[in-house]
Amino acid sequence: MRELTDFRPFLRTASTFWRHNVLPESERIILVEAMSQDLRVTLRNLTVANALRRMEPARVIVYSGADEDWNQIVWTYFNLEEISQMATAYGAETVFDVHALVDARVAGTAEPLEVAGVDLGGDLPDSGISAESFEEIVYATACRMALVARLDDSPELQAKKAHVAARSAEFAKIYDALLANNDVVALITSHVDYNNFGLGVEAALRHDVPVLFPQSTGGLKVYGLFPEKLPAGAPIRAGLTSQLGEFFDKHLWPNRELLHRSSELTQWRAKATLGRPSWWRAGADFSSVELQTPADRAAVRVPAGRRVGLDPSKPTVAVFNHAVSDALGTNWEVFADLGDWIEQTAAWAAEHDEVNWMFLDHPHQHMYDATGFFDGVAARYTDQPHMKFMRSLDLSKNYLTALTDLVLTVRGSVSSEYPALGIPALQCGWSEWSACGFTTVAGSVEEYFTELQRHVDGLLAGEELITPEQVERARLWMWFYRCASDVPSGLVQQWPVGEGDELFEILAVNMLHVESDGEPAFAAVHRMWRRREAFLSRFDWEVPPELLAMQLGVVAS
Amino acid sequence: MSGVFELPSLHLGTSFDRPARRHELPVYLDQDVPGAVALIDGAVRAPHRLARVVRPSGMLGLSLVRPAGPITVHLDIRIDGLSNEMWHDNMLGSRAKMARSDDKDREVPLPDVSGRHRLLRFTAQGRTIAGAALGLRRYDGEATVEQVSFQVTPDELGDDGMLMIGMESSRADEQEWPTGAAMPDGVVGIAVVRAHLRLGSEPIAPRVAVGRHDDQGALVLGQSGILVVNPGMPDTGTEIEVGVRGVGGDRLRGRRARVKHPGRAVRELAQDRVVDKSHGIGIAVRTLDGADVPGADVDGARLRLPAGTGPVMVRLTKQSPSGEPALVDWSVRSRALP
């Protein structure tokens, strides 16, 4: 919980700053989501919106709020008043509580509420969303809200789904109404999943409105979903995967010599938990990889094997379970759901005791599953000594690295971390990096098990399942993710600065004492927007290598 | 290292790594020795100690020039005020935070058990080599220190000469003797002050590892009555003999008691005299995993362990002549059996 004492002075400073740093308003609008309790998230969304307003004159319409489900499972200190004050200081014309509006519409008690020229409290036409897309979003949201891997026919879960569906229908109407009745420049949102966020994204893309998607990490990291660049009928994140893969092959790989030192440094820092830390594993003492050589790994593998109860002389397959209700269906996946993947993988593992199997539950599973799903899977295999089930946080990163010879995941970040250490990864779903060529990506369930068999056979035969080139690619991705696509900005600050007084003091200093032209956030958003690029970048990649080197400030004589 | 699966594609290093410094024996390793610890896990290289454990298990990797023969290792372990502070902050804090995450409206009161003993297990190359039952109570002074000694063969070290020392918590005493059992995750906050490594298999004497020793042997407090016996050489057995030291409680002991008010030592001596020292002594013994100890022989106030046995945990109990449990402190002497 944060306590702010310097917030009001900051708001006054911000209000003045933005008044002088954007174009005058026009009839067009920018829709900005502000549904996170963390002010750093809203700060990023509003900053990107205002960076856009330096090129695109527009009014800012902010939708905010939280419902009882989110308050129960995620939020602890959601404060609509603070968010509204901040949005107003950043020039928002309107801030409205979309959750409260949805609840009122469901209850039939909505009162007139004009937002951007639309009475959102009155009759609204049905959304144009396809039935299939609507059902997918409702299903994923219901799973998340119920904290289950999948919905069954139990009355309780069906009631939850019906409740989510009713609310989703109203969300969809509201977003559609705003997009259909306005000339919308862009929608800025911190998330693209679930009904409250995802239906807005779906409506925007359907109305040919770009979606900018700031990430809740690092400095300023933003993905861009430009409708004309997204494959029709694909999940929301699929186009991003393809574009990142194309960018990787067009710009990163050809510049690998120039970037080699940088990517090695990033990898060295990543091992020490410096820079952007592992998403789910904080704590350098527990999440650093100190192993430098195969001999180091061998020395740690013995006690690690004894700790876990697995034979260190056999290859070990590490299966990293996902947060089972997290963002279902937002990218291509070959199994019915995340739970189906781990269940089928465990069943396959039971028949393959020629290798060890470590099933590792997600560090934050308690926030995504209330059913003990993982424990339930584990209970089926207590008679299989070659299969061990535990929380991934039960083992340090050194121990995990010492034991793991093959990583299995649907889309987890482990499939970028371990290949960078020369440990192969098999994915059965797409992720941001899955088209960058350093993992094996299965396209079907059948292909997944074929590849799994090939990998197990390869381990037993002593084959190299990941090439030195793939290791280099993984390290380049690491550099790209942590450096190139992370814009350091005085107007947002790095995530670890927090969301307390310190943040707002630093922001105020930047607004008061630093001239704004050339501010990295402005320049990067400008490039991304004009070029319709899939991500915000610290660098201009459309320049010759010598100029790229100059931008990098490379260490070279 | 033989018997370990090797992944041919492994690429752990980066061009920014600094190779581990390999130490020639004999060597004293502490915080002032550059590169003293090559690998660390669940612990930190501490500014004033060789390392301090910050997680429920810790590991130190010491890189050695491969020795020609067995080596003898002495580790100096310390519990001080910071140990209790770190344990309290890290463990209680993180547990309370986790509990609040599950049910945000519910504050979970967690008891302060930092006054209880910590039951520790030390491993070398994954093999249990020693244990200790340590604590730092209110009147223990600034720190409790203990030395753990063991031997390692060149075969165990392997060609790369990496000695992996593990430090873990045990709560096996909770299964066996729930009353007054060890604090959970007791290894958190433990400091490794220094490591002394020498060539040769110098004799190691059996040792009662409780962190308090004076001329009457090891001192075991009555609150838990728990002690750990570390074996000597593999081919010798161990005998311990326990004696009632005085009434239990939080009074000062050892040299510190003598330098305080002169009347205090006399008073405590008088208290000792009123304690029946021969009746109702109970000795129970288990492995650090809580299992039976084959061949353990209890005879009145004596416990004999066969060669190759240990470390073991022992619980001492005392009954008054009327049969009521009596809270007494203990002195314990240990010796190698021929």
B64: chain A residues, CB-CB within 8 Å: none
CB contact under 8 A, A76 and B162: no
The answer on pLDDT for A88 being more than 60 is: yes
Identify the pLDDT of residue B216: 80
Q: Tell me what percent of the residues of chain A surpass a pLDDT of 70.
A: 99
| Distance in angstroms (rounded) separating the CA atoms of residues B150 and A103 | 68
pLDDT of residue B107: 56
In single-letter form, the type of residue at position B329 comes to: D
CA separation for the pair A291, A303 (Å, rounded): 14
Nearest to A358 by CA among A396, A313, A408, A323: A408
Asked whether the predicted pLDDT for residue A459 surpasses 70, the reply is yes
Any CB–CB contact under 8 A between A274 and chain B?
no
How many helices (H) does chain A have, and how many strands (E)?
21, 14
Question: Which residues, 6 or more positions from A444, have their beta carbon under 8 angstroms from its beta carbon?
Answer: A334
pLDDT digits (tens, 9 = 90+) for B260-269: 555 666 666 5
Q: How many CB pairs under 8 A join A and B?
A: 144
Test A298 with B40 for CB contact under 8 angstroms: no
Q: What is the mean pLDDT of residues A201-225?
A: 96
**By the CB < 8 Å criterion, does B109 face chain A?**
no
* Residues A391-424 pLDDT 10s: 988 899 999 999 999 999 999 999 999 999 999 9
Question: Is the pLDDT confidence value at A470 over 90?
Answer: yes
Closest residue on chain B to A464 (Cα): B9
Highest mean pLDDT among A242-251, B237-246, B273-282: A242-251
Record the tokens describing residue B268, joined without a space. Answer: 């405590």
Cβ atoms of B24 and B65 within 8 Å: the answer is yes
Chain centroid, CA B150 distance in Å:
13
Instruction: Look up tokens 């609507």; give the residue.
Output: A134
Query: Which residue does chain A place closest to B128, by CA atoms?
Result: A303
The per-residue pLDDT for A60 is 98
List chain A residues with CB under 8 Å of B3. Answer: 302, 312-313
> Per-residue pLDDT for A312 more than 60?
yes
ipTM of the complex: 0.91
B22 touches chain A (CB under 8 A): no
A302:B44 CB<8 A: no
Residue B131 phi/psi, 5-degree rounding, is -140, 175
**Chain B residues with beta carbon closer than 8 angstroms to that of A303:** 59, 123, 125-126, 164, 166
What's the pLDDT tens digit per position in A317-373? 999 999 999 999 889 999 999 999 999 999 999 999 999 999 999 988 988 999 999
> Could you read off the pLDDT of A158-177 as tens digits, one per residue?
999 999 999 999 999 999 99
Residue B140 confidence (pLDDT) = 67
Instruction: Tell whether the model's pLDDT for residue B102 goes beyond 80.
Output: no
Q: Mutate which of A74, A269, A302 to test chain B, going by most B C-beta atoms within 10 A? A: A302
pLDDT per residue as tens digits for the range A536-557: 999 999 999 889 999 999 898 7
| Residue B97: per-residue pLDDT | 53
Instruction: Over range A139-165, report the average pLDDT.
Output: 95
Q: What is the pLDDT of residues A193-211, one digit of tens each?
A: 999 999 999 999 999 999 9
Q: What is the mean pLDDT of residues A16-21?
A: 97
What is the tens place of the pLDDT at every residue in A98-121? 999 999 999 999 999 999 999 999
Tokens of B1: 């290292």
Shortest CA gap A268–chain B (Å): 6
- In chain A, positions 423-482, which contact chain B (CB-CB < 8 Å)? 423-424, 459, 462-468, 471
Task: Tell me the shortest Cα–Cα distance from B307 to chain A, in angstroms.
Answer: 24
Residue B95 has pLDDT above 50, yes or no: yes
pLDDT at A188 over 80: yes
- Nearest in space to A339 (alpha carbons), one of A302, A310, A368, A296: A368
Q: List pLDDT tens digits, range B166-179.
A: 999 988 877 778 77
User: What is the overall mean pLDDT for chain A?
Assistant: 94
**Are A357 and A388 in contact, with CB atoms under 8 Å apart?**
yes
**Letter for the amino acid at B297?**
D
List the single best residue of B1, B4, B90, B100 to mutate versus A (max A Cβ within 10 A).
Answer: B4
In this structure, what are the phi and psi dihedrals at residue A331, rounded to the nearest 5 degrees? -150, 170
Residue with tokens 């509580």: A97
Contact A313 B5 (CB under 8 A): yes
Using CB atoms within 10 Å of the CB of residue A293, give its burial: 0 to 12 exposed, 13 to 18 middle, 19+ buried: middle
Using the predicted structure, report yes or no on whether residue B138 has a pLDDT greater than 70: no
Give me the pLDDT at residue B277, please: 65
| B66 to chain A, closest Cα gap in Å | 13
Q: What is the pLDDT of residue B202?
A: 81
Contacts of B124 in chain A (CB under 8 A): none
Query: Is residue A80 within 8 Å of A64, Cβ to Cβ?
Result: yes
Return residues 15-54 of A near B (CB < 8 Å). none
pTM score: 0.90
pLDDT for B253? 52
In contact, A439 and A464? CB cutoff 8 Å: no
More confident residue, B149 or B177: B149
pLDDT given for residue A118 in this prediction = 97
Of A235-249, A442-456, B125-139, B228-242, the range with the lowest mean pLDDT is B125-139
Q: What is the pLDDT of residue B104?
A: 47
pLDDT tens-digit map of B47-72? 899 999 998 889 999 999 999 999 99
Give yes or no for residue A314 having a pLDDT over 80. yes
Q: Say if CB B102 and CB A76 are below 8 A apart.
A: no
End-to-end CA distance of chain B: give it in Å, rounded.
36
